[in-house]
Structures are given as C-alpha cells and as structure tokens.
A and B are shown apart, each in its own frame.
Chain A
C-alpha cells in the first residue's frame, strides 16, 4: 500500500484500474425443462473509465441504472459478458483462477447494508479475519488477531471489542467493521456501493470522514456509488452519471455539478432539493415525465430520448457517443450537449 499522504490523483501515476467497454447482460429465460433465452436485461452496456491511485470516481444514477452490477463486476462477484477490467495493467477477466484471486485482493468492496452484510453468528474478529482465511498466504494465522485489532483501531473502533457480535454495534459502527474487513488485505482500490445510504444523517458524516482519512493515509482509490449527490460531490475527484447501463456524462466534480451538459444530468441535478429554503420560490426545476424504460428493451438511438425534452429525429436513429463536443469541456453522450442550464442543484 502506498503512503501518499495526499488525496486526489497523482497526475502522472499509472491507472490502478482500467475498465473498457464493460458489458453485463442477464439473459431472460423462460421454460423449466428447456430454458430458452428471450433477450437480455442490459444491466451494464459499455462502461469505460480509468482510476488513478488516491483518486475517487463518483458514480450517480437512478435505481436500476446498473451501478451495483458495475460494482459486482469490478470485484469479481459477477463475470462480465464482455469488456476488460485491468488492475495494475493485468486483465482480471483473462487471468486463470489463481491469478484472478491474487489480483482481487487489490480491489475490495464496502456494501450498502451494514445490517445484512455481516454474518450475525461470527465475532467481529472472525469477520475481519475472513479475508485471511480465503487468501491464506497473506498473513500467518498467529498474526491475524493482532492485525484485526489494528484494523479496528484504524476505523475508530475499540480493539477490545474484537470478540463482540455485530448486533452489539450500531449501524454506523457496523459499517466501520465492514470497512475494516475491506482493508484487511491492503487493497489499493475500494468499491463503495452506497456506503452511507442506510445510515442516519448524523452518522453519515462520521463514515464519510473516515473514508477520506483512510484515503489520505493509504493512498486508496475509490469507486464511490451513492444517490446523495452532495455527498458524492464532497468526496469525488471525478463523477460519472449513469443511465440505463451507460455512463452518459463524465467530468470533474465542477464540470458535472456546475456545467452539466447532458439533459439527464441536468434533470437529475435540478431535482435534488437545496439544503436551504432561501430562494426556493424562484428555483427552476426540470421535472422529467414518464418512467425509466426497461433495460431489457432500451430505446433505439439515445437511451434517454423517451424522456428528453430536447430529443430530435437523430436521437432515435443514432446512438450518441460519450465524447467531448464543441462548446463543452468534458465527455457527454448527447448529440446536443451544451453548457449548463440555469437550474438549482446542490452547490
């Protein structure tokens, strides 16, 4: 683990994670004896990004847009339909089992639900040491408990509580246990899927602060998935907006929050309530009509066109690429990408 002491990407550093054209289609099958395939749920459909040491990529998007599926592929819980995931330059989708297992030590996950993601029958010590059982060559058994206690200390829990069970901890404390477990193998990448959504407002800030502290301390790179856009802005260097399995816009936090150029990002940001009542009468809001289409049968051309107020003929025929267009400074998957609308959002 590098000790960078700084947050944010080292500009010259090689990416720790390179994701290219990642696709996950879940086949829809019917029939019990003779399963036949009837199309597929296009949960993730062509996602690419790089992540550098110490950097945080925020991923936002509505329910069903494919965020968790992306996360599961990154940590190897799901195999991609196609595409590549390179960790330190090695494609984990191509390695043999043993090689893949080794690489996966380097990329760990924190889950949303601190209540169900910890086995209630295991002590905190056993939970944190579980990764050492799976990757037996990392640390001799005799040193594991000591390491678990160190990890408890790192995440701000009392090392003496190593023999307690999950139910003896509050939600925020359980999330800290999950973080300690994720850190056990000294990964360089943490995938956080809604790590604070299940926590009370007053506890969320504690966990966010811990994640930022750990990033500084260990130079960790984060993929940070959340639906609270102000939390994502706070922690992220770059942000990608996801819609129906694709990144529709990517940029630095200011590029996205202050200069969103994709209509969906603009609508999403304008829907977020401001945390102050001041100026609420004059606030403009883009209210989207209709529902998100089914990922089993996404619209032709631009996937957002069924809800887009700017849609034209070309949007139903030509799939807009995620690329930088004239008049904008960052990639957006819209034929008519343009500068920011005067709408409110979390500032």
Chain B
C-alpha cells in the first residue's frame, strides 16, 4: 500500500424510485482507495454496500435507480461523467468485480473458456489461443486442478467454491488495478470461505491489485482489510484504519458491531451482545441520524439533524453527534 490514491468516491448519492417512495440507498458516501490497499465495507443488509459499488462502475439499473450526485474519480477522471464506450474499457479491465452468488454469476449457457476468453480478448487484444493460455494460467493460480481440461466445461459442472475461483480468475485476468468483491464468500460453506479469501488475498497481493471487500463479517475484515468503512442506512458512519477502529471504535454502531462478534480470547460467560432494534427503513428518511432509535447514547439533536463528520488523527472520520460539536449538550 502506497500513498497514491487511485479511486476517490466523493459524496456519492444513488437513489431508487419505488412505489413506496424514494429510496436513498446511498446518500453521500465518500472514501479514498490507495494503490494496493484492501478496503473493507461492512454494514447490515440494505445499508447500501452493493449499490455503492455498482455505482462506482456505473452499473446501477436505470430505472428504477439513478445516480443523483457525486463523483467517482479514477486516476482523477470521473467515471460517472464518462461516455459508456469509455467506461467499458475500464470495467473488467482496470476495475473488475466479483459477486456474492457464484452459482448465478456465470452464464450457464456458455463454457467457462468462452466467458474467460471474451474478457481477455476484449481488453488485452490477445488472439483466442493466447487468451486461452492466459485463462488457463489464471485458473491454475486460482487453485483449480487440471485447468486445461476444466476450462472447456460449463459452470454447472463446477461446485460453488470452484465457481467462485473461476470468478476470481476471470476478474483478475486483465490485471485490474481494483477488484471489487461483493460478499464473495457469503454464499459458500464456512469451510470454503477461508480458502477463497486466502486465494483472493494472495493473488491480489501478487498482482498489486487494490481490493474493495464488501462483507457482513467483521471477522473477515479484521484478517484482511487495511482500512474499514462502516455503513449505516446509505452513509459511512465511521472510517479509518482497521486495527485502530477495532482497538477504539468511536461510533456507537461500530461499538455495537464489534461487541457483537464472538471472541475466543476474552474469557467471560456474558451473553453475546446484539444491537437492539430493527435496521432502518431507508424510504423517505428524514434528516436525522438514522441510528438514533437504536442508539444507547441518543441525544435530542440526533433526531433533528444528520451529524457532520468529525475527523481524528490517522485519517479517521466519524459521523456522530458525540463527536461533531454537540458537546455543549
């Protein structure tokens, strides 16, 4: 990880128009990604993690979705303002994605070879034979045995874990600068999850690829991510280096999340902590801190206004009235 920032997300807003009203799925998200960095995004289901990352490569289904504001600067160029033809040369090439469900993410009607080769031919300008060699090599790196045989099989002939390895191999086949992995292991058996994460980490380290890792699991984050963003109701509520946040979480939501992870190293017979209340409804959300109904430290102002960002040393940022100058109350 160097200090060169390759991706800057600035005040990103993505809204969906549904029958019930306006869903502000992502409402003012900002973060930086450095070269070779692994950035984790955690948050409850529906907090806007996937939408954030689909917005980054401008793949929000429109309608019902719409990117309502913000910028995504990749090496200084705004991906959201780019013509389709130009961003297509970045997708799958400089920025690639892996999705949650490997069972449905590959086209069942096309051989793995076809699906891998088309990407390599498109972005690397290799001929088909060379592209196939490259694909086989990538499958091998991703830990698929006998790749020269398996490459000509169809996705349904692979197990879930193997398919995710194929996805990893495919997404890294053009040496991307950024890999966005949207819950790459949530759909897999626990025993396979660790293997997949490990192979992903190993390959991205080797290729120097920066990773945005979306996950529910703080356990995954602790082991893999340099930086952590905690999302709640479409916003990032806390951001900073992973170890610092784990050591000293500031936002009440982050505190709750960390307290609710089972720990083997702490000896106590206390019941596992869980955050009370329901995840918020993000339809027509008023301008308050969306976490206040569940917050143990909620104050009056939390119901009235969304907290401004409070910055701390080491690049930490927290959105909570406890830190944003409401101290006089």
| Chain B binds chain A | no
Which A residues contact B (CB, under 8 angstroms)? none
Which B residues contact A (CB, under 8 angstroms)? none
